[in-house]
Amino acid sequence: MAQVEATTERIVASDADTVFDAVADYSGTRSKLLPEQFSEYEVREGGDGEGTLVHWRLQATSKRVRDCLMEVTEPTDGELVEKDRNSSMVTTWRVTPAGEGRARVVITTVWNGASGIGGFFERTFAPKGLARIYDAVLARLAAEVEK
C-alpha cells in the first residue's frame, strides 16, 4: 500500500490566533465550515482542540463514503492533528502568521491507499477531489473569520 497525500492551503485575512481558535472550535465554528460532502457531524467528547473526539461522514465521491471518528491532538502551537479511529487517515491543520493580520492555513491529509489498479486511480484522483473539498472548507473559514 502506498501512502496518499492531499494538501490545500489558503491565506486568510485574520490573525493566526483567531484562525486557529476557529479551526479548533469543534463544538461551534467547525460545523459551520463543512460543505455538503460532510454529514452526521457530532462532537462526542471535548469540543475545543486537544482531547476532542468528533464524528462525521465524508462523501468524497458518489460511491466513496468514509465514516470518520477523529481524535484531536495539538502536538505544537498552531497545529491540530485529527487521527481517524476507523482508518489510517490523518489530517493535520497548520495555522501560521503570514504578515500583519493574516494567517496561512495548510491542511494535509494522508492515508494508506489501496494497491493495484484501484490504488493507482486513488493516488491519481483522490488528492484532487479531497483538495476541492478542503478548498471549500477554507473558503468558509475565511468568510467566518474575516467578518
- pLDDT score for 147: 76
* Tens digits of residue pLDDT in 36-77: 999 999 999 999 999 999 999 999 877 778 899 999 999 999
State the chain's mean pLDDT as an integer.
91
| pTM exceeds 0.85 for this model | yes
- 11 pLDDT tier (thresholds 50, 70, 90): very high
- 121 pLDDT tier (thresholds 50, 70, 90): low
pLDDT at 1 over 80: no
E-only strand ranges, the chain: 3-12, 38-45, 53-59, 65-73, 79-84, 90-97, 103-112
